Chain A
Amino acid sequence: EPEVTQTPSHQVTQMGQEVILRCVPISNHLYFYWYRQILGQKVEFLVSFYNNEISEKSEIFDDQFSVERPDGSNFTLKIRSTKLEDSAMYFCASSEASAGVYTIYFGEGSWLTVV
């Protein structure tokens, strides 16, 4: 079964450092998402990306965050200057665009620890 793959699985970074989380969405999917989950809390939407641009973003997705699709397969989330409160599991997700119901598939996540 096709899957969304994410790297790294776990990253520890110093506060103030830049972090890039990488994702390879499912190949025929056109919508891409980043969600995050702080330990023990619910999954929260960060940003969606379609047709090479951000289509929607939440209030969490401030100027410290950016997303990019640098080539035909990768989708990245950059946190410019990490804060302690950015420590969370970050999930990449993708879905295909179609007229009917389509499913959002999640990757296994990248656990970010900011120290």
Chain B
Amino acid sequence: QQQVKQSPQSLIVQKGGISIINCAYENTAFDYFPWYQQFPGKGPALLIAIRPDVSEKKEGRFTISFNKSAKQFSLHIMDSQPGDSATYFCAARGAGSARQLTFGSGTQLTVLP
């Protein structure tokens, strides 16, 4: 019940295209859903995050869509650029005392020039 399932495992998109990464969760106690971007050899960096009382959040080219009833959320990267090539992790924060993150398995995005 603590898992966050992420798909696809890898994604190849042409420059200017839309990248879509999906995540699903089971635990309804999760209360915060961030997306992290990770470049090789670096730590995860927060990209954008959403709370379950909001259905969509947009920051620049990045949009999170959240479907509370389906327990799914997705990241959309509009006008994808080669510099967006990285691994993307969805995550969910628990409601326990420490509020640690449970990560999805990651999506390796490659944007072709």
Contact = CB atoms under 8 A, between A and B. Distances in A.
Interface stretch (A13-21, A39-47, A65-73): A39-47
Given A55-B97, A56-B97, A101-B49, A45 B102 contact: yes
Nearest to A111: B41
A33 interface: yes
Contacts of A104: 34, 46, 93, 100-101
A42 B49 contact: no
Interface in A37-66: 41-45, 48, 50, 55-56
B72 to A, nearest CB: 18
Contacts of B61: none
A101 B44 CA distance: 18
A45 B51 contact: no
Contacts of A31: 98-99
Interface residues of A, number: 24
Given A42-B89, A43-B89, A33 B100 contact: yes
A95 B101 CA distance: 11
B46 A108 contact: no
A33 B100 CA distance: 8
Interface of A: 4, 31, 33, 35, 41-45, 48, 50, 55-56, 91, 95, 101, 103-109, 111
